[in-house]
Structure 1
Amino acid sequence: MGITHRGTTRRVRAALSAAVVICAVTAAVPAAATAAANATDAVRGPTVAVGGLDVGVERISVATDEGYGAASITPDGRSVVFRSLKDVAGSGGNEVYVHDRSAGRTRTEPIVEGWTPAISGDGRQVAATTPAQGMSTQRIRQHSLDLGILPFGCGRCNEPSLSADGRHLAFGVVDYISHNRRVLVADRDGGYQTIAYLGSGAPARPSISGDGRHVAYQDRAYQKEGVYLWDRTTGTTSGPLEGPDTYASLVQLSDDGGKVVYLSGSDTYVHDVASGTTQRVPDVKGVAIDPTGRHLLYAPHGTGGPSLVLRDLRTGTDKTVSDQPATAEVDSVSADGRDVVFQSAADGIVPGDTNGKPDVFVRRLF
């Protein structure tokens, strides 16, 4: 069942264009790719053993003299992608890192980015927006460990979102002449589809499901403001989703494609695609949703309590992720709400954190 909020459904013709190569990476890290990688021992805070697992928090940043942020985690909780907040000399951007929590190692990706980097669900591919020279001010770079930086035939591209196996990449592109934005999905088997033409150049924030079937995005054009959902199988787009003020901004589509999280006014809404019903979470800012669509990470409005909270949408119970100032991005919750990755400049989250700069942390909740 599609989105039912005051929406109409329209068929969007898929247009094939220049081929895009999207390759997966091997699970092992070859020597050439690890030359710049840093082995790192995660710094852990207080932990409690629950069912054989350490429940607590760890810092995964790779150095103590830089700031880090914009982190996302894979559904299995094993891999975390994040970026340095320090400009790379001569590049105009920031380094991207992928931390393997099982191996306890961090590798440096030879790409720079100006937006939140994306990681495929299997943790084998990274995409990020990087500054480009010439007429195009931005482009998306993808990197695999065995093939290096992959060619991507697109200028003025940004906002990457990867499917679970890395086959499909959703992204936005601003037309050079009209300055309006399009939303596209690239297929590693060749070609790409334009799934939406938007009437403004405002961010579309595309979010793709793990199987690549659905893409949620927002449109900020006059009288079209709202959130929309594209379905590859039916070739249709449904929407808009919107709040009481007929305005909505997208947070994230769950990995299973079943839930769409969006903001409207001071509230957060979680829309169930199958039933067409919407759950309102009042007076909070939704930040991310776990791959199953059951757990919502949110930031309470106001400053009197924790900065990040994870809510079980089925039971209504809350768990504090951080009681100190902290922020998080989309794709920051692993499956079933077990792990949450976030960034904070607070110095009391783990012992010995005295650099006075933002770091990346993972909290295991159970």
Structure 2
Amino acid sequence: TASGVTSRVSIDSNGVEGNKSSSSPSLSSDGRYVAFSSHATNLVPGHMNQSVDVFVHDRDTGETTLVSKNSSGSEGDSDSVRPAISADGRYIAFDSFAENLVNGDTNDDPDVFVHDTTTQDTTRVSVNSDGNEANGRSLAPAISADGRFVAFHSFASNLGGDTNDVRDVFVHDTTTGDTSRVSVRSDGAEGNEYSVWPAISEDGRHVAFFSRASNLVSSDNNDADDVFAHDRETGETTRLSVDGAGTEGNNDSRTPVISGDGRYVSFTSLASNLVPGDTNKESDVFVHDQTSGDTTRISVDSTGIQANSSSTGPALSADARYVAFDSFASNLVADDTNGVDDVFVHQYLPDPPPSTTTTSTTTTVPPPDDEDFFTDDDGHLFEDDINAIAAAGITRGCNPPANDNYCPDDSFLRGQAAAFVRRALDVPASATDHFGDDDGNIFEDDINAIATAGITRGCNPPANDRYCPDDSFLRGQAAAFVRRALGLP
């Protein structure tokens, strides 16, 4: 589809519009396949069940197919909703009240299923590791990129060591058949209150959810819903609805979404203490960086001014560069006079630099310009590299205002490093003053910009209230800068 074109996908394979409402879209990574739920009865031939069903539309071929059906092709006998599609569009998870999608469904509760659009098999995943059906409702699936792992929350008590009598979050491995609970403390102890609405990283390792439990992490004393992430590889559970210093939120935080690599989690919160200057007394949208520990408010205008009404419902791009959300605020953009809820997109992470092409984790800088920018690096081992980054505008020299020298053998200062990284990645300016020892420093703006972007944390952990701009920049620190800047795992 051409750039800028809006097309309707809740149509039948001949392009005829649905005769009733459709909602809850889920998109494959390339945008070709769109899964959605619909009340419409005319999207596929022979649709007779008068229930809400899940469909998938192929935007290349125009074909619309029923998903909420059993492996023999018979449509479900009750409502099916909340689809979640794998990256390639092959696997679609959904929850359903239907009792005829698999054999032996006798629990009289909604279950979570996965439909394979290639084999046409439908499998129930809200089962324990022995394949026994859940003895309570299971809802709200999230699926890994390859479709192997499906997270969901469930009222069931028989999915594995569950004695807390509240909703928990589980992950089912469709390859091994194992079902594991992830709404647990880092030592495996179960939560003492409900945990719901999971989001899962592309590889299935990281699962975010929100919970009322007060025992998933230490010092949880706010008596509020919090957002957590569980690392299925290490077993560690971390609270994310905290400020940059780790202080817990003073109100409810909910509805997490997670980036592809699991590093970033966006969520909605009523807390007023997650960032400085939150005085609007409204729900806001935030992003927490699990690597840097920073929490950033997203529901602001392009200059950083807070929203004048509530913001909710975040959606996060796989690379975490963009966060979409809905808001009643009228001051996020100019000329917002409609008085209704609108959808906005905020750029959280900077664009890759124009001079850099990123493939996987390897960054390639174009060949150096023919121009020789400095006089003191002739014949130097790194002369070509120096000319290349000078041509790209990343360095300006070491002897302003002339800047005809690069000083290739001088020590590199932390302030200079901030400027290099900011120019290389085109990191946007930030109004937040992160450190107390860089006021008036020539690199102060660069330091604040990369701190807001989560590239630096400071020089004096755990306080990290100083940057030490005039200290030497060590090779180990350089590694940390580059890793955070490029989002390397």
Report TM bin, short chain. Answer: 0.5 to 0.7
Code of the residue aligned with 2:173 in structure 1: it is D
How far apart are the structure 1 equivalents of 2:20 and 2:313? 28
Aligned with residue 252 of structure 2, among 247, 253, 262? 247
How far apart are the structure 1 equivalents of 2:205 and 2:314? 23
Aligned with residue 57 of structure 2, among 82, 88, 99? 99
Shift of 1:313: 1.7
Code of the residue aligned with 1:210 in structure 2: it is E
> Kindly, what percent of the aligned residue pairs are identical?
28
Aligned with residue 139 of structure 1, among 111, 118, 121? 111
Does residue 218 of structure 1 match 2:210?
Answer: yes
Does residue 258 of structure 1 match 2:293?
Answer: no
How far apart are the structure 1 equivalents of 2:265 and 2:346? 15
SS at match of 1:137: coil
Aligned pairs for 1:73-152 (under 5 A) are: 73-86=27-40, 93-111=51-69, 113-132=79-98, 134-145=106-117, 146-152=119-125
How far apart are the structure 2 equivalents of 1:290 and 1:244? 25
Q: Partner of 1:290 in structure 2?
A: 317
Does residue 192 of structure 1 match 2:179?
Answer: yes
Structure 1: tracts of 5 or more residues without a match: 1-43, 45-52, 317-366
Pairs aligned (count)? 263
How far apart are the structure 1 equivalents of 2:40 and 2:95? 16
SS at match of 2:3: strand
From the CA coordinates, give the structure whose radius of gyration is larger.
2
Code of the residue aligned with 2:263 in structure 1: it is G
Mapped contact 1:73–1:81 kept (Cα < 8 A): yes
Q: Partner of 2:438 in structure 1?
A: none
Describe the shift of the 1:305–1:66 C-alpha distance in structure 2 as closer, same or farther (beyond 3 A). closer
Q: Partner of 2:141 in structure 1?
A: 160
Mapped contact 2:267–2:314 kept (Cα < 8 A): no
SS at match of 2:61: coil
Shift of 1:267: 0.9
Q: Partner of 1:182 in structure 2?
A: 168
How far apart are the structure 2 equivalents of 1:163 and 1:151? 16
SS at match of 1:55: coil
Does residue 273 of structure 1 match 2:260?
Answer: no
Code of the residue aligned with 1:109 in structure 2: it is V
How far apart are the structure 1 equivalents of 2:55 and 2:107? 28
Does residue 55 of structure 1 match 2:4?
Answer: yes
Shift of 1:298: 1.3
Shift of 1:224: 5.9
Code of the residue aligned with 2:91 in structure 1: it is Q
More helix by percentage: 2
Shift of 1:216: 0.2
More strand by percentage: 1
How far apart are the structure 1 equivalents of 2:168 and 2:341? 38
Structure 2: tracts of 5 or more residues without a match: 12-16, 42-46, 70-75, 100-105, 128-132, 158-162, 184-189, 215-222, 243-247, 271-282, 300-306, 330-337, 352-489
Shift of 1:115: 3.8
Q: Partner of 1:172 in structure 2?
A: 153
CA RMSD in angstroms comes to 2.7
How far apart are the structure 2 equivalents of 1:233 and 1:158? 24
Q: Report the TM-score, using the length of structure 1 for normalisation.
A: 0.65
Shift of 1:306: 7.0
How far apart are the structure 2 equivalents of 1:128 and 1:121? 15
Shift of 1:179: 4.1
Mapped contact 2:252–2:269 kept (Cα < 8 A): yes
Describe the shift of the 1:151–1:249 C-alpha distance in structure 2 as closer, same or farther (beyond 3 A). closer
Greater relative contact order (Cα < 8 A, sep 6+): 1
Shift of 1:54: 3.0
Q: Deviations over 1:238-281 (max 9, x none)?
A: 11524742321023112221210111122111111211111112
How far apart are the structure 1 equivalents of 2:319 and 2:240? 23
Describe the shift of the 1:80–1:90 C-alpha distance in structure 2 as closer, same or farther (beyond 3 A). closer
How far apart are the structure 2 equivalents of 1:233 and 1:268? 28
Mapped contact 1:285–1:301 kept (Cα < 8 A): no
Q: Partner of 1:312 in structure 2?
A: 347
